[in-house]
């Protein structure tokens, strides 16, 4: 039988080691001065299918291509989030994650909290979007995560150029962006 003091020491060391790994695995800050969302969001217009055009790479999206997100209403008023990606290539195996979101800024609708793991929620800020909801720029307060979404999986070059310019105007480091193959 292992003495209690040894169990506590082993557990403490494991927690410290895992914490260190989490700190070391954090992506770089792409914007130290994340802006507030630029406009209100009409959630019912935001619902539906979005395709990821670009992102700051994150460990939870490793090797993801053909990324899409589907948003719909749950009966309790929260938003169902269904993320899908194909591993390694646009024709790779499909991986999905289902979560839920809740609006935390009820005045603008632009700030939400999203959970894929029980009680753990992350920030989801709609930083900017087209008036017709054809594109969206999504981030969060740490400046480590950023996504550029479109209703069209393969928009024309003019839109991509405009989105790059807008992201840079908001203070984000474009060199950290990764284009998502659709």
Q: Which residue has the tokens 């995560």?
A: 145
Hey, where are the domains in the chain?
Answer: 43-179
Per the DSSP assignment, residues forming a β-bridge with 147 are 55, 138
pLDDT of residue 118: 87
Q: Which long-range contacts (CB under 8 A, 24 or more apart) does 86-93 make?
A: 87/63, 88/63, 89/65, 89/181, 90/65, 90/66, 90/181, 90/182, 92/63, 92/65, 92/66
Whether the CB-CB separation of 51 and 152 falls below 8 Å is answered with: yes
pTM: 0.85
- CATH number for the segment(s) 43-179: 2.40.128.20
For the chain, give the number of residues: 182
Over the stretch 127-169, which tens digit does the pLDDT of each residue have? Answer: 999 999 999 999 999 999 999 999 999 999 999 999 999 999 9
pLDDT of residue 2: 56
């Amino acid at each position: 039988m292992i003495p209690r003091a040894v169990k506590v020491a082993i557990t403490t060391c494991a927690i410290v080691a895992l914490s260190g790994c989490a700190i070391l695995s954090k992506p770089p800050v792409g914007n130290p001065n994340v802006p507030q969302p630029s406009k209100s969001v009409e959630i019912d217009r935001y619902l539906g299918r979005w395709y990821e055009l670009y992102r700051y790479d994150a460990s939870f999206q490793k090797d993801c291509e053909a990324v899409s997100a589907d948003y719909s209403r749950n009966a309790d008023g929260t938003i169902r989030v269904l993320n899908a990606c194909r591993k390694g290539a646009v024709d790779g195996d499909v991986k999905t994650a289902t979560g839920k979101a809740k609006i935390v800024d009820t005045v603008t609708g632009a700030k939400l909290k999203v959970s894929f793991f029980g009680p753990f929620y992350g920030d989801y800020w709609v930083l900017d979007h087209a008036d017709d909801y054809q594109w969206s720029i999504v981030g969060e307060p740490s400046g480590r995560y950023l996504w550029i979404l479109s209703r069209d999986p393969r928009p024309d070059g003019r839109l991509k150029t405009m989105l790059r310019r807008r992201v840079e105007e908001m203070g984000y480091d474009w060199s950290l962006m990764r284009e998502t193959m659709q």
